[in-house]
Amino acid sequence: MMGLPMRPRLPLALGLLALGLVAGGCGAVESLKDPETATEAQAAVVEDPQVVETAAVMAEEPPAETAVETAPVETATEETAADNAGAWREIDTGVQRFAGKLDAATQAVASCQTDAAAGEDFAACQGVAFEAIAAAGDELVAIVDGAAPRTGGDCRSALDALRAATSEMSADHRTAIDITDLTGLETAYAEIAADAGAYADAAMTAAGACAG
């Protein structure tokens, strides 16, 4: 985190002039109109031990102060980027596994339709597939929960969104298991389709924000 802005300081020449005017009052202003008198007045101000000491204090400013403040910020940024990339490698493995289980569940639902034509219970068959998707989503959420605390910045925000999208996907699939009427199923399918789109967008955003 950057430090607070430094309080601006007058240049040394302006600081000495200001001190001289305060010490001499209006008479000092009049005397500065004469070049010779001005030179003597300036010399007198500079030779004043108190003024010299004050000027020395004002002139002292650690040259490396800015570097000391900015260096930790650069280091923190580099460390955060490394943490983000490392966390994403773990999450990406979970994302790939989740994708495989989604594909398997999709094929299972297709098989359920074929089996239903032969007299099998389509609702029960689909329910098994939907529960498999919900469980796979729960696994991915657990992976995100384990890795996300090590991340920061846009990556952390993107992972929060990915977690929310995955959790919503799991919840809606579980809700759809017990729905048997056609109207309810149509609504559930629409919600599941929206969940899939939101999840895909969140996963792509997280990959871009975390992988670097």
For residue 202, is pLDDT > 50? yes
Residue 19's pLDDT is: 34
Q: How many whole angstroms separate alpha carbon 189 and alpha carbon 196?
A: 10
Tokens of 83: 């943490």
Q: How many whole angstroms separate alpha carbon 126 and alpha carbon 144?
A: 27
Q: How many whole angstroms separate alpha carbon 142 and alpha carbon 159?
A: 12
* Percent of the chain whose predicted confidence (pLDDT) is above 70: 64
Tens of pLDDT along 128-173?
Answer: 999 999 999 999 999 999 999 999 999 999 999 999 999 999 999 9
Tokens of 132: 């498999």
Residue 173's pLDDT is: 96
Q: Give CA separation, 189 vs 6, 101, 117, 130, 166, in Å.
A: 59, 18, 20, 11, 16
8 A C-beta contact, residue 157 and residue 209: yes
The pTM score is 0.63
Query: Virtual CA dihedral for 96, 99, 104, 105, nearest 10 degrees?
Result: 140
Q: Give CA separation, 91 vs 85, 88, 136, 169, 212, in Å.
A: 10, 5, 13, 17, 14
Beta carbons within 8 Å of 12's beta carbon, 6+ residues apart: 55, 58, 59
Residue 150's pLDDT is: 94
Residue 22's pLDDT is: 34
Give the angle 186-187-190 at the CA atoms, nearest 5°. 85
